[in-house]
A and B are shown apart, each in its own frame.
Chain A
Amino acid sequence: MGNVQLDAIQMNLLGQIAGLHEVPEGAYNIRSNGQGIARNTTANIDIVTKEDKPGIDIYIKPGTKKESVHIPVLMSQTGLKDLVYNDFYIGEDADVTIIAGCGIHNGGDGTSEHDGIHRFFLEKNARLKYVEKHYGTGDGNGENIMNPTTIIEMKEGSYMEMDSVQIKGVDSTDRITRAKLDKDAKLIIREKIMTHGKQMAKTSFEVDLDGENSSADVVSRSVARGTSRQIFESKINGNNACAGHSECDSIIMDSSNVTAVPELTANHIDASLIHEAAIGKIAGEQLIKLMTLGLTEEEAESQIINGFLK
């Protein structure tokens, strides 16, 4: 499937969610309107279509270094509901980057929905950077819905960094992330969300720190505008000598509404768990400072938000 032809809408979605302006190098699987349309595998990375349900299995051989996998999902057909199961097997000592993302262009009146269930299995000492971007656009009245579920299992000494961004155009999202960590495993999650209009975003994390010296750092930054609503839930269970930190930092604007529900459970004397949550409007002195540099109040506000979500 070397020569893939994408139309302008698909190229735009691909640019937004993966920063790509052409078909990527290395391994990839491009899914468009509910079907795989392009795939490339390499000597170390295999991509296999599931037989029992929609989705793919991605196998990364032990010791694979500095390779990347792109698995964008593009939806430009209104009213489509797409459900996909993707499983990632990251071999021992591998060190790779996976770039996923979903872009919906809904130009019609139907509701477009993409529900992705991603499972990650990291073997001993594997390292993974997982980047996920969600973006919606379109000029119709149809809603864009994305409900990603991410399940993470980390063996001894493995490391995973997950960056997820949802800045624009997703009307409703219910994000679930669950992780289980063995000895010396380390998980870092950075989530950025902006909602506007009547959008709704719910995000819930549950991390089990099962292994000795395992650690997790979950940081969510969000901006809620208009009459949008956000709910942030994070549960960290310290089941061994471990370190867990979660942080939710939100800017509320207009008539939006944000709830943060942190939950920490220590089941071991040497579990050290911290949660920080802050919700508030943009500080007046921040606006004033930028205005003394010659920015209008609106320009100052947009600089502060862009920086916060950078």
Chain B
Amino acid sequence: MLELRNISYEVNENQKEKDILKNINLTIEDRFVAITGPNGGGKSTLAKIIAGILKPTSGQIFMDGEDITDKNITERAKLGISFAFQQPVRFKGLTVKDLITLAAGKNLSTAAACEYLSEVGLCARDYIGREVNASLSGGELKRIEIAMVIARKTKLSVFDEPEAGIDLWSFNNLIQVFEKLHQEVQGSIIIISHQERILNIADKIVVIADGEVRGYDKKEEILPELLCTSGGCKFYSEGGR
């Protein structure tokens, strides 16, 4: 279970304090929670704060009751937090197998490493020995990024817009990956997404806009509001509650 208490994050932009996140309070205990909201609303910042990449200006983070606010990235990873980047990183020289092996935290046979790649729809034989460099496309990198998180098998997995940069054909495949994860996962998944089909798999949906939580409820309650077409959308237009 992940709990965020009064999390705020400010940056200094042109000598002015800007609030990216304002006093966020969230308790995530369901298996599959989607975070959505307009671009620039603070979703990715929140994900980075959970992973320890950014330090909140104020507030606390608890994992299974333990205060992890001062834990660094490595310590949080070891406590069971995984994070799939929105923009995966390239490495000259490291191969797909190297990264999957590091993610799994133990030596893997090629066959075992290939299984993780097959799960994300990559023909494993073609990829396992390849360098994670500029020769891989954005969509291929995204799937390898997801495979790494699957290989970690941690109790909390955070995905930052897994659909970004993935073509339509691969997208169907991606939905299947997350449906399967939803069924099999032992811990919780937090997924930042704009895609209705991903939101549709979620147990609960959090709406974040302007650095604030505008809604957090069961999918059945939130999704119809999000999908309304008129200009009067509840979450995006109200100035907060």
Contacts and interface: CB of A to CB of B under 8 A. Distances in A.
7 contacts: A292-B81, A292-B82, A303-B102, A304-B93, A306-B93, A308-B93, A310-B93
A292 B51 contact: yes
B222 to A, nearest CB: 28
Nearest to B132: A307
Given A291-B74, A293-B77, A297-B74, A249 B92 contact: yes
Given A283-B89, A286-B89, A289-B85, A294 B77 contact: yes
Contacts of A283: 89
A295 interface: yes
A284 to B, nearest CB: 10
Contacts of B102: 290, 293, 295, 303
A296 B98 contact: no
Interface string B93-104: 111001100110
Contacts of B51: 292
A288 interface: yes
B148 interface: yes
Given A286-B89, A294-B78, A294-B105, A307 B73 contact: no
Interface of A: 221, 249, 283, 285-286, 288-297, 303-304, 306-310
A286 B90 CA distance: 7
A49 B92 CA distance: 43
Interface in B81-125: 81-83, 85, 88-89, 91-95, 98-99, 102-103, 105
Nearest to A296: B74
A13 B77 CA distance: 40
A294 B74 contact: yes
B223 interface: no
A296 B85 CA distance: 18
A249 B91 CA distance: 13
A296 B71 CA distance: 12
A288 B105 CA distance: 16
Contacts of A295: 74, 77, 102
Given A289-B88, A289-B89, A310-B93, 7 more contacts: A285-B89, A292-B81, A294-B77, A295-B77, A303-B102, A307-B92, A307-B98
B73 A304 contact: no
B201 interface: no
Contacts of B91: 286, 304, 307
A292 B83 contact: yes
A293 B148 contact: yes
Contacts of B72: 291
B94 A293 contact: no
Nearest to A285: B89
Contacts of B89: 283, 285-286, 288-289
Q: Which of B73, B78, B85, B98 has the most CB of A within 10 A?
A: B73
Contacts of A285: 85, 89
Contacts of B142: none
Nearest to A308: B93
A288 B148 CA distance: 14
Given A286-B89, A290-B102, A295-B102, A307 B94 contact: yes
B152 interface: yes
B78 A288 contact: no
Contacts of A309: 93
A287 B187 CA distance: 26
